[in-house]
Amino acid sequence: MSAQQSTQQMQGKICLVTGANSGIGYEAALALAQMGATVVMVCRNRAKGETAQAEIKTKSGNTAVDLMIADLSIQREVRRLADEFKAKYQKLHVLLNNAGGVHGQREVTADGYEVTFAVNHLAYYLLTELLLDVIKASAPARIINVASSAEGFGSLKFDDLMGEKRYGAMQAYGQSKRANIVYAYELAQRLAGTGVTVNAVHPGPVATNFGANSGGIMGLFTRIARPFELTPAQGASRLVYLATSPDVEGVTGKYYGDKKQIKSSAQTHDPAVQRQLREVSEQLTAASR
């Protein structure tokens, strides 16, 4: 692909990236901007968001880089974000659900939910569902959930999703990442025939600040593994591949690693689990209406 082709590949496309001010979110937003897309960055901190936005505009030479501020742990802010986006844009060709976190100690959000599950799954679910009408009207369109191989550490425990009975950072994070995959599979089936594809992706072990301050085993593991990890740009390339490549046009309901399909745990493929997660997610987000 020539430089000119790469800068025109996403011309006319609107892409929304959550957690876009640092790490793989930043690198994905930058790559999409370099391809000519209109990029809407979603960040929690305005100062950090504005700095990242300015950098991406400069590095990409693309001025169509927007910034929207929202704390995705708070459902009313997710709803405000969706309303703000719809008020400004009539199309959405790529939704990249990337924002996430991990916490060494159990914490709860303003809505009363365990924060890892709230940010890593419920925010993905609520924002996606609120934007589905715009996404379907933009078909062909793509939804990408950033998951992780850490899903192998945490099964979905519907009797204790919020870790009230027992909390561990690895289990909480792994459970939320498994939920990302289950939701991708369920939504892909629901959107079959609409021209909207839904896939999950493991960006690989990426050297960012993610998890370093979580404490305990999770923080220790993160710090030890860092010298062996991918750069944020390398990890982001997996996201950008699913967002832009003609190789995966029309492919849906899959889980990807390094630009190829990989296996996820048996629980993620269980139709009953997929159905139950959707029902529970709907219940846990309905209260904020």
Count of CB atoms within 10 A of residue 219's CB? 16
**Active-site residue flag, 173:** yes
| Tokens linked to 194 | 């609409």
Taking the CA atoms of 111, 201, 28 and 249 in sequence, report the sign of the dihedral they define.
negative
Q: CB of 125 within 8 A of CB of 183? A: yes
Residue tagged active-site, from 26, 124, 125, 173: 173
Give the residue among 181, 178, 152, 154 at the shortest CA–CA distance from 166. 154
**Contacting residues for 45 by C-beta, under 8 A, at least 6 apart:** 21, 69
Taking the CA atoms of 86, 33, 252 and 145 in sequence, report the sign of the dihedral they define.
negative
Q: Is 141 helix (H, G, I), strand (E, B) or coil?
A: strand
- 65: Cα within 13 Å, side-chain hemisphere: 29
Distance CA 218, CA 13 (A): 38
Q: Catalytic residues, which ones?
A: 173
